Amino acid sequence: MEKLYKAYYKSPIGNVEIISDEEYILALDFIEEEITKDSFEAVPEVLKKCVEEIDEYFKGTRKEFTVKVKVHGTKFQEKVWNELQKIPYGKVCSYKDIAAAVGNEKAVRAVGGANHRNKISIIIPCHRVVGKDGSLTGYGGGLWRKKWLLNHEGVKIK
């Protein structure tokens, strides 16, 4: 069994837990627990780099992430997550756009399901997916966070 590492980050919209192995980011999610300390003792370089890049993102100086991620899902979910990473900072796509991009424009609900199962928030930017009319729809971290992230990126929300 591979060794996993954790780091925590206090973002403007809540505490973030980041999990990695020696080479890849495996999860990044908002948590409700209080963070007692920021710890970098004996963690892999990829985890340190991820915390640095997330900090830069929240400070408005980073628009693309370079840390390596490893996802685990169905082939369809992995195709969706790959497409999400192509949505540029400050832009949004509809669920239908993503479904079409992965080869099945009728799979709108399945795209929503893949978004819901995304374990690497922000880096795999499921917050950039909106309804076909541009409206905000579900986000695992809460719609208020999705709205904040999109506003932070300069997206005008309906």
The pLDDT of residue 139 is 80
Q: How far apart (Å, rounded) are the C-alpha atoms in residues 42 and 115?
A: 32
Q: What are phi and psi of 17, to 5 degrees?
A: -110, 130
pTM of the predicted structure, to 2 decimals: 0.91
Instruction: List the alpha helices (DSSP H) in 107-142.
Output: 108-116
Please give the positions annotated as active site: 126
Tens of pLDDT, residues 88-118: 999 999 999 999 999 999 999 999 999 999 9
Q: What are phi and psi of 45, to 5 degrees?
A: -55, -40
Tens of pLDDT, residues 8-62: 999 999 999 999 999 999 999 999 888 776 555 678 999 999 999 999 999 999 9
Domains and CATH numbers, the chain: 5-59 (3.30.160), 75-153 (1.10.10.10)
Token readout for 118 is: 């995304």
Give the residue carrying structure tokens 């809540």.
14
